[in-house]
Amino acid sequence: MHVPDGFLDAPTSVATGVVAATAVGIALGRARRELDDRTAPMAGLVAAFVFAVQMLNFPVAAGTSGHLLGGALAAVLVGPWTAVLCLSTVFIVQALLFADGGITALGTNITLMGLVTVLVGYLVFLAARAVLPKRLASVPLAAGLGALVSVPVAALGFVGLYAVGGTTDVDLGLVASAMLGVHTLIGIGEAVITFLAVGSLVAVRPDLVHGARPFLQRRELTILGPDDGLDGSGTLDEQGTGAEPSTSQEASA
């Protein structure tokens, strides 16, 4: 769904550029809470993985293809604010190095595919996770549902922008129904990929899946606590041992 230059007029492109820049600025601050020494490396890898899977267009209808957008996937794996940073990086690299998506359309592409998909995907994920049984197996399912909904909503987001700043006179109703139809199919592919990717990581290291944490901490505290010390994975935040950093720093200096 990479929007090329020329589809939207200058004021709309500037507006989406401001929205994208503001959101990335906020995300830079908020992502800090999601990132530590273990999750930061995962975030870079999730961005690289999303880039790779975005190259894999799958056929969805006669003569039409689609690829993963990755908003719900990244939000569930590394947290929504970090996901915004990861996806924005992907779209910037695609636009600058690969000429995929326009330069003036970069704000539009970050807004639609990096903000809308993350927001919608993560909210649907949270709602589904709250409704589904409270166990780890629900996490990939909820992520898939978030992915499924996120793609057609982003497609409608494009139609909304086109209604405001489209450069060609078109029948918006026809554009909306065509966009919704094809992107519902792409959303099914998005859901399958997201389910498989989240399911794989939940199976091997659920503690590395941001969206799985509420189910883990309770269990790890009561049952798995001793294992954490043995394998050194450090699932839970370690509380300070009581040493006073400020005084020890002065002593060492």
Binding test (CB under 8 A) with other proteins, winner from 84, 86, 115, 145: 86
Smallest distance, other proteins to C-beta of residue 130, A: 27
Using CB under 8 A, which residues numbered 132 to 171 contact other proteins?
A: 155, 158, 166-168, 170-171
Quickly count: other Cβ atoms within 10 Å of residue 174's Cβ.
9
CA neighbor of 218 nearest in space, from 236, 205, 232 = 236
Strands 58-61 and 64-66: antiparallel
Distance CA 96, CA 103 (A): 7
CA neighbor of 173 nearest in space, from 184, 183, 162 = 162
Please count the residues of this chain forming the interface with other proteins, following the rule CB under 8 A.
91
Segment interacting with other proteins, rule: CB under 8 A, options 5-13, 120-128, 133-141, 210-218:
5-13
Distance CA 151, CA 145 (A): 11
Binding test (CB under 8 A) with other proteins, winner from 26, 48, 131, 164: 48
6 in contact with other proteins (CB under 8 A): yes
Distance CA 89, CA 41 (A): 15
Smallest distance, other proteins to C-beta of residue 148, A: 15
Site string for other proteins, 87-126 (x = CB under 8 A): --xx-xxxxxxxxxxxx-----------------------
Q: Which is nearer to other proteins, 81 or 122 (CB)?
A: 81
